[in-house]
Amino acid sequence: MDITQNFGNSSIKISYDNRRTLLSSHPFHTVYEQFSKNDLPENVSTSFGGNGTITVKIYQNTTMPTIDLNDLEQYQAEELLLNEDRTLRQMLEIILSQNAVDSGNYDVVRRSELYRKHENKIGYGLCTRVGSSKGVRIIETETKKPNGEVMKEIKPALVIDFKKSPFYCSGKFIDLVTEFLNGYRGNEEEAYREAEKVFKNIRLTPIYQKNRVLQFTKFTSQPFSKLE
């Protein structure tokens, strides 16, 4: 928001799904900016290799430039919606996640799940994190008037499923593997075999090149120089 100078509007509110969709409470002109690596915060610049430029372009959705969050007309029909336009529900889900994301205390996982960054270690290089899976459903409510008449109304409702899920602990991969091996009660060969199963496909970032993402497959006794 500092870089865009609040899109020229100090009262604008922004929600972003960390992918391709950005919602704003007010319209703004197309944003087109180029930044060098040195212009970026350190925690971002270390994720980019080389000394090139980064281009950021934010423009209006030409298919649906605006959306009315109160437009529930498609849900007024009582029959089942086989071809529902889920745009409104998706936008509400993005908006409802933004406050948690802005707090810096949560990570977004699989688009609709939020997990606290706080880790509760359970050993073997693993931990649990508390989070929630959320979604927006459209429900029908009934309200009885003083004269006894029942008034039905269609409204969006937030549905939340709280959960505690296992994660790999943050930190150096070698430390996680060492913790697993030290805690395993079998022989060394069995320990490495089980560790491969537990950590298979975990994504890793080299300390010396944070813009790269590697994926662990298996252990080997061969020196790195002999690997093809």
Say if residue 93's pLDDT is above 70. Answer: yes
Residues 113 and 164 in one domain: yes
Regarding whether 164 and 73 lie in a shared domain, the answer is: yes
pLDDT on residue 26: 87
* CB-based contact 33:55 (threshold 8 Å): yes
Instruction: Provide the pLDDT for residue 81.
Output: 66
Whether residue 85 sits in one domain with residue 10 = no
> Do 148 and 181 reside in the same domain of the chain?
no
* Structure-derived torsion over alpha carbons of residues 214, 104, 88, 56, reported in degrees to the nearest 10: -60
Number of Cβ within 10 Å of residue 177's Cβ equals 20
Can you list the positions of beta strands (E) in 37-181?
53-58, 106-109, 113-116, 120-123, 126-144, 150-168
Asked whether residue 86 falls in the same domain as residue 120, the answer is yes
pLDDT bin (cut points 50, 70, 90) of residue 85 is confident
Domain boundary among 65, 80, 97: 65
Q: Are residues 81 and 157 in the same domain?
A: yes
Position 162 scores a pLDDT of: 94
End residue of a domain, out of 132, 149, 169: 169
Residues pairing with 164 in the sheet = 130
Please identify, among 65, 82, 104, the residue that sits at the C-terminal boundary of a domain.
Answer: 65
Domain holding 79, by residue range, is: 69-169
pLDDT confidence tier of residue 146, bands split at 50, 70 and 90: confident
The pLDDT tens digits of the residues spanning 56-75 come to 888 888 888 899 988 888 88
- Do 116 and 24 share a domain, yes or no? no
Residues 165 and 182 grouped into a single domain: no
Residues 44 and 107 in one domain: no
Q: Is the pLDDT of residue 119 over 90?
A: yes
209-222 pLDDT, tens digit per residue, is: 777 889 999 998 87
Together in a domain, 118 and 183: no
Q: Are residues 19 and 88 in the same domain?
A: no
User: pLDDT tens across 25-34, in order?
Assistant: 888 888 888 8
Instruction: Tell me the average pLDDT across 84-98.
Output: 89
pLDDT above 90: residue 10: no
CA distance 147 to 224: 82
| 75 and 7 belong to one structural domain | no
CA atoms of 133 and 161, how far apart (whole Å):
5
Give how many domains the chain has, as a whole number. Answer: 3
Q: What is each CA distance from 159 to 60, 92, 97, in whole angstroms?
A: 30, 12, 13
Is the Cβ–Cβ distance between 2 and 21 less than 8 Å? Answer: no
DSSP code for 174: H
